[in-house]
Structure 1
Amino acid sequence: MKRLIIAAALAIATLTACQPEVRQVKFTDKGPAVTVQSVDGLAYMGGSIAFAVDITDAEFTLSTLKVELLFDESVVESTTIRTKEYGVYQDFIRVPLYAKIPDGTATLRFTAQNTGLGITVVDKDVDIKRPDFDKLYVTIGGKDLEFPRVDKYKYALTGTFPADASTTLRTPKVNDRGDVVTLGWSGSAINASETPIPFKMGAAGTYTIEADLWELTASPLGKGSIDLSESNNTGVFNLVPDTPLLFPNIPTIGSWELDYDFFNVTNDGVVTFKAIAGLYKLRVDFSKKWIEVEAMENENDRAELDGTDPEAIWCIGQQFGKPGIGPSWNTTDGAYCLAQVAPGIHQFSLVYGTQLSSGFRIKFFHQKGWGRSDSKWGGEFKSYAAVNDETGLFDVASTGDIAAASGKQLEEGMGYRFTIDITGGVEAAVLNIKSVKLTEGLSISVNGVKAKGAGDVYKVALIPLKQGDALSISGDAGIDGFVPDPDFITPDGKFNAVDGNYAIELHLDATKKNVEFARFWRVDDAGNNVNLEGGGCYFMGGTVAFIYQNADVQKWPGIVNWPGTGGLQMAQVKPGIFQVSGYAVPALEGVTPYARWQTEAMNVKYFYQDGWGGEASGDHVLTDRALELLDPNRGDVGNIYLKEGVTLEEGAFYVMTIDFTGCTISGASLASGKEVIDFYKK
């Protein structure tokens, strides 16, 4: 019988066995005594191989048993068993299911090792077959059905099925133990799993489902089936308005906060497309539960407003984004496509507080990038034939930039929709602005004061707090898994900062049922962030984090960086003394809450207002213990660095305080005196 050979393109992962932990090692070239008591002589791809191995050693204690399955001397599956005692070890090893691999003979290799590093290797042959039974079994609409073979490796069944006929494929019993092989869906092909294959049509009726166990393909996958997965999260699709979209790899899609301009979600969780028919690129962000949509001219090129169909308009700016605030004036990750909801009508909606924040400024462009001299209309909307702002909250500058009007405040949790009408031509474009209620939101309160918001962010605009006050979150969201900010909240749930007015931003977890963490700001009586004299000191830097070090892992941006407005406000824990603290972790670790410091680098600075202006000058004093960790020679004026050769202890908790008690403060500046910086491991 021929040996199994894998196609050259098949990537094989190599696993490395653990090395035994010992204090003194006596080496030997003799491995343990290995007797393979039993092993399945026949197994099916997608199934498993059972084995039992007796291992003893006359001289040494045992270490590990590594079991590998080889197709043509290439390891395709591996498992390692810790062998603490002499005796028989029983287990299973999975047989992978690959496309276009015929029946053949594989090698099951047993490698036993003792603590003297002696190794014994025993090989056993196992016949491997691709499933090709006369029939398989499926369950559709609650009914168990036979799925007959119509050709080698090919199966088909015609019947009256619901629109969603998703099911796994199950083989007859493959051995005396009664095992069956269950085949499911990887997101792009049939595989060995319990994930149903998304057999779907646009409506219930009579149709045929088919599966090819040689090619590992299946059909139909439904009209409007968006077959994207975490391993294959981007694709280009022809989409039609009002057509239900099927997401076979996102069973909870109905609970996602999807883009209000492109998608509609019914109470039953059915997702439909709202923009005009055309070619669109979809990119699924599973961590943020979001789908980014871009209009396309073809499979490779984005649509633009250039006088030809299809057309698209794009938005770029600062302090805005979808699903949350994105990078400022960034043409790659901070440029968003408007939804063309009718011919010549393009709309863009943002929720204030989550997708639009204080200091925002946006502008509309004809392409995903800056204006071009070779563009028919200059590549950007510098002016409009008319602006109709129903809210009276916005200012549209002569440059085309849109910002909040002077003295106006947008409402937390309210949606604002910008619609550009070019039905009369680009030169006659009309901008319409109105408020829209995009989400109902949850009812959440802090100490009885209601928070406003939508999605996963809710904000209390102003609440008076006293140091030592108990903090209570009530309403629709619980606090299971809540991690308190170590600077603003004590371990027993008391407020840690000095008395004053504060704004609180509550961030919900992925379930939107519990508050995961909270951010605090000292504000004045009008709810505005205060300057240093008012009790506000702000922290920015390329190595300090808001909550987590890795922005890709968590929904809140990780590294604070240098945003201008929106930096981390330090907690004033005593009059004139501001504090920021947290754990030290490797860069972009992304797991430890309040991982505010990187172990091997520091580049931070404090500011006297929320944004640029008054800032640390470098003319400060370091305490003796801070001198052990921080560079007294500074480098950039006012920036704080680790001392050369210093590495913070991974997992340790570090505290930095800025003491202004010896200074005279005037607004957002120091009139006299030097601040004292302390930095230490707690």
Structure 2
Amino acid sequence: MKRYLINILLGTAAITAVSSCKKDEKYTYQIGDPKIELKSPISAANFGDSLEFQVHVSDSEVALSTVKAQLYFTDDKVTETVIRTKQNGDYAGKIYVPFLKDIPDGKATLKFVLQNISQKITEQSFDINLSRPDFPYLTLVTESKSYRMEKVGRNQYAAKENFAAEVKGYIQAPKVGTQGNAMNFGWVNNVINLGSTAEIPFSNSTSGVYPIQFNTLTFQASPFIVVLLNGSQFSRLDDKHAKVELELAQGKTTTFEGIADLQDWWIDPDFFTKAADGSLSFKGSTGKYRVTADFNLKYFVVEAMTGNDLAKLQDDGSGAVWIIGEGIGKPKVSSNQVGWNTDKALCLVPLGNKKYQITVKAGESINSDNINFKFFHQKGWGGEFGGTDVTTSNDIVFVGDGKNGRDSGNLGIKTGKVLEAGKTYVFTLDLTAGNKKAVLTVASK
């Protein structure tokens, strides 16, 4: 019985082994004779072309699978087209030649790879000359009008018109040649990119006749306002904001450049002293600051820094103090109230010697009859001055204790009192005696 069972098992194993060998033989890899012939010789193309090709493919032994057209810039494959080849014959297709910035005219390699179902392949490669398309013109497309940008040099185009100081639009390039494509250039992550119609925020120091320019090789364009503070350049955050971080010295001259209508901007009296001749000097204690230009509200947000971060109040009373809450905002509370949005927290100017100050004008940067804000240790939630941390002897503003109409530490205006409209008030927080023994003074001037 045992011998009979063993014979059965051995017989089954033998059958399985034979079957397995036959299966392996049936699916042997890398066999056949795939052949490819380019029927439409290609020697040159433009960047941005949809390059047409035709090939004849065949295999006399094994069915075909795919033919791939691959384009290489040096050793980098930049694009590929795959065509299913179910039978021998002619196949046509297109492969896109990428239009990339900073790539000069030169040679590329067009490779065709034919594969049959056994995964055997054959390849053919061809060198082609690639050139930047010579656009006859470009078009600046704005919401209200389109402007023709004439060619003024190799890859360089310009539209010189009577423009406003700010012009928003994208740039369109026409199709060049039978295999070319129309292309758009727009604003993506604060740079100009191919394939976008997002508006590019061109800006000039003044309105009038000036050129808007674009280079189709480098993707560089102009004009964009370059704003400098003491020679340090602001970096663009978005269409309406730019910032710079730098060291500023107390009492030293402060110079802004690149803003034509600077005389129309609101200059924060906490951080800058404006002389009769219009020159500015810095009032804060010497240190590092982040200065953000708000082109919409036309003022500079100044915030104290420690290293690469916004400053926080330290245990010894140094650092920074911030305001979050209602009834206050620069340059006007009506258009830019802080509220409980911590991103809009106001930095008091650090005067040195553990004293911090904010200057407001009743009816403009602070409400005359209703305030509800408090002092914080940072620009955001966290450490804050509670009702027992601040005392004041002034007869208009009081500190909330949670029972007198304001939450603990929140400031309010006493019943029957108001801040006189149009009058300037200086709030000074003195931490000389410690962060838990702050003294608030409110003085009019």
Would the alpha carbon gap of residues 422 and 34 (structure 1) be closer, same or farther in structure 2, given more than 3 Å must change? farther
Residue number among 131, 135, 138 corresponding to 1:136 in the alignment: 138
Match of 1:207, as an amino acid? Y
Would the alpha carbon gap of residues 140 and 119 (structure 1) be closer, same or farther in structure 2, given more than 3 Å must change? same
TM-score, structure 2 as length reference: 0.52
Would the alpha carbon gap of residues 213 and 236 (structure 1) be closer, same or farther in structure 2, given more than 3 Å must change? same
Q: Which sections of structure 2, spanning at least 5 residues, go unmatched?
A: 1-25, 228-233, 246-258, 266-291, 325-340, 350-356, 360-373, 392-397, 411-424, 432-437
The equivalent residue for 2:5 is none
Residue number among 88, 105, 108 corresponding to 2:107 in the alignment: 105
The equivalent residue for 2:427 is 423
- What secondary structure does 2:39 align onto? strand
| Alpha-carbon distance between aligned partners in 2 of 1:31 and 1:389, rounded to the nearest angstrom | 91
Residue number among 105, 118, 121 corresponding to 2:120 in the alignment: 118
| Alpha-carbon distance between aligned partners in 1 of 2:183 and 2:138, rounded to the nearest angstrom | 10
The equivalent residue for 1:381 is 385
Tell me by how many angstroms 1:236 deviates. 6.3
| Alpha-carbon distance between aligned partners in 2 of 1:236 and 1:299, rounded to the nearest angstrom | 19
Per-residue CA distance 1:73-121 (angstroms, 9 max, x = gap): 2222234344445544433333233333221111111212121011111
| Alpha-carbon distance between aligned partners in 1 of 2:150 and 2:343, rounded to the nearest angstrom | 47
CA contact (8 A) 1:276 1:340 kept: no
The equivalent residue for 1:201 is 203
- What secondary structure does 1:107 align onto? strand
- What secondary structure does 2:167 align onto? coil
Would the alpha carbon gap of residues 198 and 105 (structure 1) be closer, same or farther in structure 2, given more than 3 Å must change? same
CA contact (8 A) 1:314 1:337 kept: no
Tell me by how many angstroms 1:127 deviates. 1.6
Tell me by how many angstroms 1:69 deviates. 1.3
The equivalent residue for 2:16 is none
| Alpha-carbon distance between aligned partners in 2 of 1:117 and 1:59, rounded to the nearest angstrom | 13
Q: Does 1:164 align with 2:167?
A: yes
Larger C-alpha radius of gyration, 1 or 2? 2
Match of 2:310, as an amino acid? R
Match of 1:95, as an amino acid? V
Tell me by how many angstroms 1:209 deviates. 0.9
Tell me by how many angstroms 1:195 deviates. 2.4
Match of 1:425, as an amino acid? L
- Trace 1:46-61 onto structure 2 (pairs within 5 A): 46-61=48-63
Tell me by how many angstroms 1:196 deviates. 4.3
Would the alpha carbon gap of residues 199 and 426 (structure 1) be closer, same or farther in structure 2, given more than 3 Å must change? same
Residue number among 347, 360, 365 corresponding to 2:377 in the alignment: 365
CA contact (8 A) 1:200 1:223 kept: no
Match of 2:71, as an amino acid? L
Pairwise CA RMSD of aligned residues? 5.0
Per-residue CA distance 1:152-198 (angstroms, 9 max, x = gap): 32222211235333122314x42235644444444344433142450
Would the alpha carbon gap of residues 297 and 107 (structure 1) be closer, same or farther in structure 2, given more than 3 Å must change? same
| Alpha-carbon distance between aligned partners in 1 of 2:237 and 2:92, rounded to the nearest angstrom | 38
Would the alpha carbon gap of residues 77 and 53 (structure 1) be closer, same or farther in structure 2, given more than 3 Å must change? same
| Alpha-carbon distance between aligned partners in 1 of 2:296 and 2:318, rounded to the nearest angstrom | 20
CA contact (8 A) 1:46 1:192 kept: no
Per-residue CA distance 1:210-258 (angstroms, 9 max, x = gap): 11233221123468999669xxxxx962599999xxxxxxxxxxxxxxx
Percent of aligned pairs with the same amino acid: 27
Q: Which has the higher contact order (CA 8 A, sep 6+)?
A: 2
CA contact (8 A) 1:30 1:120 kept: no
| Alpha-carbon distance between aligned partners in 1 of 2:318 and 2:66, rounded to the nearest angstrom | 64
Per-residue CA distance 1:350-406 (angstroms, 9 max, x = gap): xxxxxxxxxxxx9932478987xxxxxxxx63623353489988753xxx7x9xxxx
| Alpha-carbon distance between aligned partners in 1 of 2:140 and 2:125, rounded to the nearest angstrom | 37
The equivalent residue for 1:313 is 322
CA contact (8 A) 1:187 1:228 kept: no
- Trace 1:76-91 onto structure 2 (pairs within 5 A): 76-91=78-93
The equivalent residue for 2:39 is 37
Match of 2:301, as an amino acid? G
Higher share of residues assigned helix:
2
| Alpha-carbon distance between aligned partners in 2 of 1:364 and 1:85, rounded to the nearest angstrom | 76
CA contact (8 A) 2:70 2:110 kept: yes
Match of 2:172, as an amino acid? L
Would the alpha carbon gap of residues 26 and 226 (structure 1) be closer, same or farther in structure 2, given more than 3 Å must change? farther
TM-score, structure 1 as length reference: 0.36
Q: Which sections of structure 1, spanning at least 5 residues, go unmatched?
A: 1-23, 230-234, 244-262, 264-270, 280-294, 316-334, 347-361, 372-379, 403-420, 432-682
Match of 1:206, as an amino acid? V
Per-residue CA distance 1:265-309 (angstroms, 9 max, x = gap): xxxxxx976695136xxxxxxxxxxxxxxx574994434458999
The equivalent residue for 1:214 is 217
CA contact (8 A) 1:107 1:125 kept: yes
The equivalent residue for 1:277 is 300
The equivalent residue for 2:346 is 340
| Alpha-carbon distance between aligned partners in 2 of 1:131 and 1:298, rounded to the nearest angstrom | 50
The equivalent residue for 2:152 is 150
CA contact (8 A) 1:52 1:89 kept: yes
CA contact (8 A) 1:138 1:144 kept: yes
Q: Aligned pairs, how many?
A: 299
Would the alpha carbon gap of residues 178 and 96 (structure 1) be closer, same or farther in structure 2, given more than 3 Å must change? closer
| Alpha-carbon distance between aligned partners in 2 of 1:47 and 1:216, rounded to the nearest angstrom | 18
Would the alpha carbon gap of residues 136 and 310 (structure 1) be closer, same or farther in structure 2, given more than 3 Å must change? farther
Match of 2:55, as an amino acid? V
Match of 1:165, as an amino acid? K
| Alpha-carbon distance between aligned partners in 2 of 1:97 and 1:178, rounded to the nearest angstrom | 11
